[in-house]
Structure 1
């Protein structure tokens, strides 16, 4: 608009100038007027074209901004978001009996949240199932884009991966056999089973000075189910594990119970390779949209009752 106004002002001055020169004769004045008209039409047409181009450019810029809500990022395989997990952690990730959620072969809270994030980013979700500590290494070694596996934040892990914002609060509890003399106070005197690579193992195996029980009192298993089986076989005295899977294991195995109280509370997050800020930011943006619109709460409520 400014460009058109400037051109019109210039044309007015030119017209005035030509009119002044035209006092010598009518033919000169007419010719100048005709020339001025031609210049005016040409200039207005050019200005209109420029304004149209500017408008089109503005619209394109707007479309690019809308399409770039999640920023520029890359994934290991174009068009895919590869998620590493340990699918033996119900109700967060489990191997499905059939096709699973959206044909992934898996189901659970993390599976549905990851699927929703992938949809927002315009990617196809691929889930790779492996041992828990291998799932963390997969992100570090760039064979997976992101890890979701009931993964809780810890300072130790934060040194090798970058965490997203939290999407759920995890509570760890202690499973024992019915009639056991194990309590929260005497755990340090017992033999405890945990899943290898989890914060349960990290915290429990730490030194007593740091609040742990020492490595001599903790055995690591490939997954929670194996640890629970060891408890039922009297090979250990207790299992430290997250509350949600603990309830699943207790419900499925007669003779087990959960000690009163929480052993520890922590935040569940996803993780990407350290320094992959672009992907971390994209996932955070999508994740927070899912939290704000209630999708994450709906997914969690689908698998965990409010009781």
Structure 2
């Protein structure tokens, strides 16, 4: 083998090793070791979803059930719930933000679906919800059966509820907004006849404005999961351990009742 060929073989070998090392580093990114080295757990939460993730205008704090779940995960990792950074996500932005490394996990009223499982790995179910409708009190719309041709239904971009309403009420006109607060503002302004998403989120809106009510029960099953990057089994397992521990200790029931006003159904 001449010197040129020998050099080519060495360069090829070095490039191969570098590629393998880069791949390994990429697969570990966002793992617990990286989170500890950074010194904080970064969670993507909603800022517009009352009871789950909502920026309180009176104190500027983001509060809710999902925020408290993020605190419990931070406490598990660091022994300190305050080693936590919250970043705002929407139904549209949450998966891209997870995939590009801006956040470690999505804790944002995210329904577990087969389609989403192709993009992220989910924890066990941490909240059971179902899709419903929010209308102004006195509205003739009292269930999904009342959604007819010409009915304007409002929803959030990137949410499963938008797809579901098109399937359940194909004659409806569906208007999509960037987030739930924009959709709710549009409903209050008379730009639509009903707003649809998970009942737990709608209950929060009804608490914000008693002129509106949740009607018709639920017409879908919407189990929420906490999402991590594909292949991040270490963080996924830790989150599952947190959920299980909270359920067994009674901490979960206490948290649920604090935000929802009732005990979770068994």
**TM-score normalised by L of structure 2:** 0.77
Aligned runs of 1:1-307 on 2, under 5 Å? 73-75=33-35, 78-97=38-57, 105-122=61-78, 124-182=83-141, 183-189=143-149, 190-205=151-166, 208=167, 211=168, 213=170, 217-306=173-262
Contact 1:146 1:271 in 2 (8 A): yes
How well do the aligned residues superpose, as a CA RMSD in angstroms? 2.4
Helix, strand or coil at the partner of 2:69: helix
The CA deviation at 1:107 is 1.2
Shift in CA distance, 230/99, structure 1 to aligned 2, threshold 3 Å: closer
5+ long unaligned stretches in structure 1:
1-70
Residues 73-99 of structure 1: CA deviation (Å, up to 9, x unaligned): 533962211001221111011113566
The CA deviation at 1:283 is 1.7
Aligned residues: 228
Distance across 1 between alignment mates of 2:36 and 2:56: 25
The CA deviation at 1:217 is 2.3
Query: Which deviates more, 196-205 or 250-259?
Result: 250-259
The CA deviation at 1:254 is 4.8
Shift in CA distance, 139/203, structure 1 to aligned 2, threshold 3 Å: same
Shift in CA distance, 151/72, structure 1 to aligned 2, threshold 3 Å: closer
5+ long unaligned stretches in structure 2:
1-30
Helix, strand or coil at the partner of 1:257: strand
Contact 1:93 1:108 in 2 (8 A): yes
Residues 205-256 of structure 1: CA deviation (Å, up to 9, x unaligned): 3xx4xx4627x72111122222122222222121102223322322333532
Partner of 2:20: none
**TM-score normalised by L of structure 1:** 0.67
Distance across 2 between alignment mates of 1:127 and 1:228: 23
